[in-house]
Amino acid sequence: MKRFHIHIAVDDLDANIRFYNALFQAEPSVLEPDYAKWMLDDPRINFAISRRGRKPGLDHLGIQVESTLELDAVQQGLNDAALPVAEQKQAACCYAQSDKYWTVDPQGIAWEAFHSLNSIPMFGEDDVIQLEHASPCCQPKKTDPNHD
């Protein structure tokens, strides 16, 4: 069964956690210093927020699936939409290892189709997505070689 995914960039994680706890009447299923995620069944949604130095607001939307077979079907739909699609296998992002496909809709909103394989202890540093308007969510942070 598929689950709708929304990821929002926020500037005040604690205030947003309080708000979404009240809205969803539930605590996050994943809580990290820069990230929180609610895996809700009513409505069936994977709702995530993060404080990763980006402009606050909608980061990306997605479809989370429960199997490789479902992911292949969603990927075929993305291909049928005739939009650019980037594949990421074994991506490490958002405290999970996942197989994913990224695209952008006609408005430039990034969409992610993914199958989470397991949890990992870090936000992660995916390969850079090479799609115009693609989400910076899981791209590596740029580091200054002159500073640690």
Q: Is the pLDDT of residue 116 over 70?
A: yes
Q: Mean pLDDT, to the nearest integer, of 63-69?
A: 93
Confidence of residue 33 (pLDDT cuts 50, 70, 90): very high
Contacts of 91 (CB under 8 A, 6+ apart): 97, 98, 99, 100, 114, 124, 126, 127, 138
Give domain status of residue 125, yes or no: no
Give domain status of residue 48, yes or no: yes
pLDDT in tens, 79-97: 888 778 889 898 888 888 8
Give domain status of residue 146, yes or no: no
Give domain status of residue 40, yes or no: yes
Give domain status of residue 13, yes or no: yes
Count of structural domains within the chain: 1
Say which CATH number the domain at 63 has: 3.10.180.10
Kindly write down the DSSP assignment for every residue of the chain, as one continuous string.
Answer: --EEEEEEE-S-HHHHHHHHHHHHTS--SEEETTEEEEEEETTEEEEEEE-SSS-SEEEEEEEEESSHHHHHHHHHHHHHTT---EEEEEEEETTEEEEEEEEE-TT--EEEEEEEEEE-SS---PPPP-STT---TTSPPP--TT--
By residue count, the chain amounts to: 148
The residue segments making up the domain with residue 111 are 3-119
Give domain status of residue 141, yes or no: no
pLDDT at 13: 94
Give domain status of residue 144, yes or no: no
pLDDT at 91: 85
